[in-house]
Structures are given as structure tokens and as C-alpha cells.
Amino acid sequence: MLVGRPFWLSLVVCLVIETSGAKPVPDPCAIIAGKTWVLPKEARDCMSSFPLHESIRTNIIEVVNKTLEFHTSVNYQIQAPPPFDADVHEDLVADLARISKENYSSEFDFHIDIYRSFKRVNDGHCGVYNYCFDSLYVTYIPLPLVLVTTSDGSQHVRVAPEAFEVASNEFKDNIEFWQQALPGHLKGQLASLSGAKVLRINGMDPFVAVNENAKTTGSYQAFGTRQNSFFSSYRRGATGWQYSMGNFALQAHPLVDDVELTLQRVNSSVIDTFKLPYRSRFGSASKNFTDAASYRANNCVATNRTNGIDLYGDTAGVQTYQQSPPPIAYFQQQPSVDHEDARKQPINVILDGLPLTDIDLPEQLQPNIPALNQSYSVAQFYMLKDNVTGVLALGSFSAKNFTAFGISLLSGLQELKTAGAERLIVDVTNNGGGYICIAHWLHRIIIGPKKSTEPQAGLDSTTRAGPVARLIVESIVSGGDPEELLSYNPIQWTNASHHPFPAASEWLKPVDVTINGRRLGQECQPFKWDPPEDGLFEPRNILIVSNGRCASSCSLFSITMSKSDGVRTVVVGGKTTFGKIIATSRLKNHPLAPPDFLTNSLQGITWRLGYGIDDPDTPEEWQSHTADINFPLNRDIVNNPVAIWETLARQEFRESEIFRMQTEPIYI
Ligand SMILES: *[C@@H]1O[C@H](CO)[C@@H](O)[C@H](O)[C@H]1NC(C)=O
Ligand SMILES: *[C@@H]1O[C@H](CO)[C@@H](O)[C@H](O)[C@H]1NC(C)=O
Ligand SMILES: *[C@@H]1O[C@H](CO)[C@@H](O)[C@H](O)[C@H]1NC(C)=O
Ligand SMILES: *[C@@H]1O[C@H](CO)[C@@H](O)[C@H](O)[C@H]1NC(C)=O
Ligand SMILES: *[C@@H]1O[C@H](CO)[C@@H](O)[C@H](O)[C@H]1NC(C)=O
Ligand SMILES: *[C@@H]1O[C@H](CO)[C@@H](O)[C@H](O)[C@H]1NC(C)=O
Ligand SMILES: *[C@@H]1O[C@H](CO)[C@@H](O)[C@H](O)[C@H]1NC(C)=O
Ligand SMILES: *[C@@H]1O[C@H](CO)[C@@H](O)[C@H](O)[C@H]1NC(C)=O
Ligand SMILES: *[C@@H]1O[C@H](CO)[C@@H](O)[C@H](O)[C@H]1NC(C)=O
């Protein structure tokens, strides 16, 4: 026993020396745990600290690849005809083949590669998102930018005139960091940068940065619209007017550390060049952690909602499932909807790695004219001071209560008419889509009963009839969906002449095409509400206004209004439930069915593809729909909705203006 003592003692001493001498690698996630603001590099170090496990790679590639079988646009995206070929032509199947072989230093790098490959499709429905990485930290700089046009027609980039007001309100707990980060005579003078002309970004013409961003931002086919994503803009939200900072000032990943800007401040002849750091803020949907292990456990592992649920399974489980918001909700570009309502209504909305903004539009830019009492949520009605132009500001085609929303649209437009409105501006800036039947309804009530609105006020469409989709239909037809809960149930759809498919029909049996199924009609009419007998406004007296960022149900509305009814458009600046459908139809173990994600991921696809108006046999996606009017903004009206509407009403409805002036008495 005595012999043993010194032995143990020496071992203990030895161990102590070992541990203090080896300098264990600090856990990069523990360093930032609990902090709201961190440097992008600090967030990146934590997020990049997990190597890519082959089991994760194999699982994600397999789920994504098999889910792509349901995406209607794959072949079109590879073979898009000119002039669309410059903007799409992404071969996702080839991307996945490459990504399945490439070496990545971390799971984060692997995710960014998949995320960006899908973004290059430039289709807001088609994307792969992961709560472990996307908006886990949102990266900001307090300088949202705008694109303005001067009276001589020249265009330049400026720091938004409202930049400091927005930043100092939204980033109260970090504004001092940026004040102190400014060098020399600019230190503490962040406010003086508002409105400054931006001469260079990282030593280059600002448009180099605008165009680089357009290559990766995704979501919109048109290059010009993706350029606009760089800049700040406004949007009517469910509870108020909101401010989007734009991709220069806000990013979904902590990939940029700083930017060098060359600016000329307002009323100054001095040109300043300086670097300003970005900073990353813990995301609003991110789950707290204390170290790498809890970061993974809380943010990165599939939850019981990631992979859908068997709707005919345990009743309590189904209820809990249906009452909580679906995982996709955070990335859907629409305000939250009532789950019960949303489940029954077809929705067409885009997704993004950044959730919708909740930053308020600064007070002085908000409409200073009263909204009509018929306004509801994202739909606000205004009468301009000219007393003849009514405005419907429509920030989304989704709102919490579907019924209240549909009623509000009709009663608001009728109230505008009663108040004397002869013309209508519909402002759909940053409208990411929503309920398909609300888009059809709005079209019908504005235009009246015409060939273009009854019985179909949208577009005929088709869906992918792949092997798994057909097996799901077979399973439903042989009694697998007694309560008619599934989107593949034939009774949910109509044929090309708008008759519902009979209950037991194998509606996905292709007619004469191999990839896509039958031509489908619409499921919105008869509407839930009685439409008025006559149209409310003449097409020539209507303008549909946006910054180009009008997607999904919103583009369905504006394209049909414009092409079928001649309404002028002005540019100023599918919901997926596959997990659920496949789980319920009990095909989960079929070799072609996508297995469960092991990660906290989700994937969006285009499930129904709309046929065109000018050429009804090819997708509208590949037919031209350019705006009738490009309306430049100067710095007095940029991001100010009422100022934009008033200027448009004066300039674009000029004919009727002249008529009115002539009929007014002239006082000498
Ligand atoms: C994706 O699925 C197709 C079959 O649909 C298969 O040929 C291809 O190898 C798969 N790609 C990957 C990367 O697994
Ligand atoms: C990945 O790394 C392995 C081993 O280091 C190497 O053999 C392989 O060529 C690399 N693959 C690529 C695509 O770089
Ligand atoms: C710039 O100068 C004009 C004219 O003196 C003045 O009205 C304006 O407030 C100044 N703007 C700023 C940001 O200093
Ligand atoms: C997460 O951490 C923040 C700040 O430390 C705290 O305010 C919040 O309550 C925490 N949330 C949860 C769910 O624990
Ligand atoms: C899903 O997980 C949450 C949190 O872990 C739990 O509260 C809920 O009951 C679970 N739901 C189902 C349907 O298992
Ligand atoms: C609109 O609502 C306000 C406040 O609720 C009320 O005072 C006003 O009379 C209403 N106006 C109309 C035209 O109903
Ligand atoms: C619009 O109507 C209001 C209230 O009736 C009136 O005060 C105003 O003068 C009218 N404006 C014009 C341009 O006719
Ligand atoms: C939705 O709005 C309608 C019409 O205003 C109302 O009758 C209904 O109770 C509302 N539903 C919910 C869940 O609030
Ligand atoms: C749609 O179904 C109706 C009723 O079954 C049928 O009369 C009509 O021919 C069908 N239309 C098409 C285009 O198949």
C-alpha cells in the first residue's frame, strides 16, 4: 500500500501538467453563446466548426434529389429558351451529383453550396433551407442603400436618406459599435452619412456589387428585379408599414466581415473612403445554446415537425402538429396565417433564407392620409388628395383570416368608388404571394365577369406526374384518404374545363406527355363570396405598381390583369406539404419516396406550373411579361409610398387630368 501512494501521486501531477500544457482548443460556439451581437467571423467560426459527416451528406442529397421529382420546372429550367437562358439554365441534378463528391471543410460550407445552387435557379419556390445555418445569425451594416435618378436622367446609388433613423431605432444596442468603428472625422458621425452618394464599393463601381448580389440572391427570374434586391424598400405588413433593408445592409449568413465605401456626404465636397464592419445578430427563430453541443442539439437536428406526420395517426399528435406553425412558416414571405384556414386554401408563396422584415417604416415615410375603415391587415385602402385616385396597398395575398380578407377587398374597393374614385393604383411592392383564390377573387371583382375572369381568373396549370406522385394517387383512390385530407386527392382538383375529378379517378395518369400530368383548371369558383355584377374599375384607369418584387400569387394576379385585360404595370424599383402527404399515404418506405431529413432542413419546390396567356401551351414562366412603365425614383420620393402614388397619379393618369382641368372654371 505504501508503495502505491507515490505512484498515484505522480500520475495525478502528471495529468495536471498534461492538461494545462496542451491548451485545449476553445469551443468557438461557447465563445459567442448568449451574446446578441457578434462579429461575422465569430459566428462563422462556430457554424463552421462541424465537419460534414457522410451520413448527413447522403441523407440531404437523397431527400433533395427525390423531392425534386415533384418540382414541375426542372426540365424547363435547364432548357429555358432565349432570352430566359441567361437567367436560368441551372441543372440541379448535375449540381447534386457534383456536391455529392466535393470535399467540404465543414457542414456549413456544404450547406452554402446547396443553398446557392438552388438560388441560381432564380425561382423563389425552389430552395433548400436549414435552421442550423440560415438566419441563425443575421448580418447587418447600418447603411441601407437606394437607387435614385436625377432630373438629367443619370442614376446613382445613395445611402438611404432614412438610413440613420432606421438603424438607430432597430439597432439601439449596437449603434455605438458602428459610431466608434467609423474612422477619423467621421467617428460618431454615422447620421451624417444618410443620403450620401456612394461612389465606390470595395474600390469598384457600385453596380459591380449590385450585379454580384443579383447572381446569388435568387428568387426572381428577371435580372433587374434581382438588382433591386440590393436596395431598401417598403412593404405593407399585417400590422403596419415595414422597411426592408435590402441585401447590401442585411444578409442571411455571416460571410462578409466589412466593406470599404467611398462616399460624398450631402452638402459636402469631400470624398471619404473608409471601412465599416458588418455585425451579426442572433436570429429571432434561433434557439439559445451554451456550447457547440447544445447549438447542434437545439438548432440542427430534425424536429418532430420537419418530416411531416401521418394525418391518420394518433389523434392527439395530429392536433398538436396542426396547431403549431409549420417549420416552413419562418421562411415563407408572407405574414402568419391561421393554420386551420391555410390548410384548406391553396397557397402560392415564395421562400427565402431571410424571414420577412419586422422593421418599421420610419414615421415620416408612412402614409399620412387615413386608411379607409374597410382596410384589413395587409390590404389598406386610401383616397389620394385629388379625390379621384383610390389606392389599394397590398403587401401580401395572405392574411390571418381568409374570410375577413376576401370581404375586406370587395368592401374597400366599393368604398373607394362611393367616395368618388375613378381610378385605382394597386401597390404590390414586395408582395411574395399567398392565397391563389384571393388573387383570382381580386382580379374578378376589379374587372367584372368576362372571358378572362369566369370561370378561370388565373392560369390553367399542370403538375408533375412522377412515379411516387402516381403511387400516392393510387393509394388514395384505393381508400387511403377517407377524410379527403390530402392534396393528391382527385376531388381537390378540376380538369381543363373546370369540372372536379371524380373521387376514384387516377387523375395523374398522363394523357400524352410523360413528365407532366393533365392540364388542370381552377378550384376557386364559385367564390366563397358573391362578386358584384359589374367590374369596379376600367382597365385603362388601373395601374399595378411594384418594385418588381411581386411573386407567386402576386405575379399570377398582375400578369393576368395585364395580359388578359390590358391593365398597365409599373415597376418602381407552393406551399409544400410533401412530408405530410407522403407520411399519410404510407409510402414513406418506397424506394423512390424521399426519406426523412435528419437535419433541421426544409425544401421548397414548384408543384403546379401555370400555362401562358399568349401561348397557352407553354409555361407563362417562359413568356415575356415586361412592365409597361419604368418609373424612376428621385431622392424626394424614394421609399415614400404616398409620394410615389401621387406622382404616378399625376403623370400616368395625365389624360384624364387634362380633361378635368378643362372642365374646371378659370378665374382671371
Ligand atoms: C438523383 O436521382 C436520379 C434518379 O432520379 C439518379 O439518377 C441520380 O444519380 C441521383 N443523384 C444523386 C446525386 O444521387
Ligand atoms: C477529396 O479529397 C480526397 C482525399 O483527400 C481526394 O482523393 C479527392 O480527389 C478530393 N475530391 C475533390 C473533388 O477534390
Ligand atoms: C444641405 O443644404 C441644404 C441647403 O442649404 C439644406 O437645406 C439641407 O438641410 C442640407 N442637408 C444636410 C443633410 O445637411
Ligand atoms: C435565450 O436567451 C435570451 C438572452 O440570453 C433570453 O432573453 C431568452 O429568454 C432565452 N430564451 C429561452 C427560450 O431560453
Ligand atoms: C413535438 O415536440 C415538442 C417539443 O419537443 C413537443 O412539445 C410536442 O408534443 C411534440 N409533438 C408531437 C406530435 O410529438
Ligand atoms: C371609421 O372608423 C372610425 C373609428 O373607428 C370612426 O370614427 C368613423 O366614423 C368611421 N368612418 C366611417 C366612414 O365609417
Ligand atoms: C377633396 O375632398 C375634400 C373633402 O371633401 C376637399 O376638402 C378637397 O378640397 C378636395 N380636393 C380636391 C383636389 O378636389
Ligand atoms: C374570420 O372573419 C370572419 C368574417 O369577419 C369571422 O366571421 C370569423 O369569426 C373570423 N374567424 C376567426 C378565426 O377569427
Ligand atoms: C371534364 O369533366 C367533365 C365532366 O366529367 C367532362 O364533361 C369534360 O369533358 C372534362 N373536360 C376535359 C377537358 O377533359
**Fold category of 367-459+527-573+610-663 in CATH:** 2-enoyl-CoA Hydratase; Chain A, domain 1 (3.90.226)
How far, in Å, from the CA of 304 to the mean position of ligand 5? 6
Ligand 2 atom 10, closest CA: 103
pLDDT tens digits, residue range 375-432?
A: 999 999 999 999 999 999 999 999 999 999 999 999 999 999 999 999 999 999 999 9
Closest CA to 274 of 189, 160, 213, 209: 189
Our mutation pick for probing the ligand 8 site, out of 338, 403, 528, 529, counting the most ligand atoms within 8 A of Cβ, is: 403
Our mutation pick for probing the ligand 1 site, out of 96, 102, 113, counting the most ligand atoms within 8 A of Cβ, is: 96
> Which ligand 2 atom is at minimum distance from the Cα of 101?
13
What is the share, in percent, of the chain residues with pLDDT greater than 90? 51
> Which ligand 5 atom is at minimum distance from the Cα of 305?
1
Cβ(387) – ligand 7 distance below 6 Å: yes
Cβ(386) – ligand 7 distance below 6 Å: yes
d(CA 185, CA 187): 6
Ligand 4 atom 14, closest CA: 288
How far, in Å, from the CA of 102 to the mean position of ligand 2? 7
Above 90 in pLDDT, residue 168?
yes
pLDDT for the residue 216 = 86
Above 90 in pLDDT, residue 543?
yes
Cβ(199) – ligand 9 distance below 6 Å: no
Cβ(663) – ligand 2 distance below 6 Å: no
d(CA 259, CA 201): 7
Work out the pLDDT band at 348, boundaries 50, 70, 90: confident
Nearest ligand (C-alpha, residue 285): 4
pLDDT tens digits, residue range 207-257?
A: 999 989 888 888 777 777 888 889 999 999 999 999 999 999 999 999 999
Ligand 8 atom 4, closest CA: 404
Cβ(497) – ligand 9 distance below 6 Å: yes
Q: What is the DSSP string of 75-90?
A: HHHHHPPTTGGGT---
Residue ranges of domains in the chain: 1-336+577-604, 367-459+527-573+610-663
Angle, helix 641-652 to helix 654-663, in steps of 10 degrees: 70
pLDDT tens digits, residue range 173-207?
A: 999 999 999 999 999 999 999 999 999 999 999 99
pLDDT for the residue 16 = 37
> Which ligand 7 atom is at minimum distance from the Cα of 387?
1
The model carries a pTM of 0.87
Above 50 in pLDDT, residue 35?
yes
Ligand 8 atom 14, closest CA: 401
How far, in Å, from the CA of 579 to the mean position of ligand 5? 16
d(CA 93, CA 97): 6
Cβ(102) – ligand 2 distance below 6 Å: yes
Buried b (16+ CB within 10 A) or exposed e, 220-240: bbbeebbbbbbbbbbbbbbee
pLDDT for the residue 517 = 62
> Which ligand 9 atom is at minimum distance from the Cα of 494?
1
Is residue 446 within 8 Å of 535, Cβ to Cβ? yes
Element (H, E) at 320: helix 315-323
For 346-371, what is the mean pLDDT?
88
d(CA 286, CA 276): 26
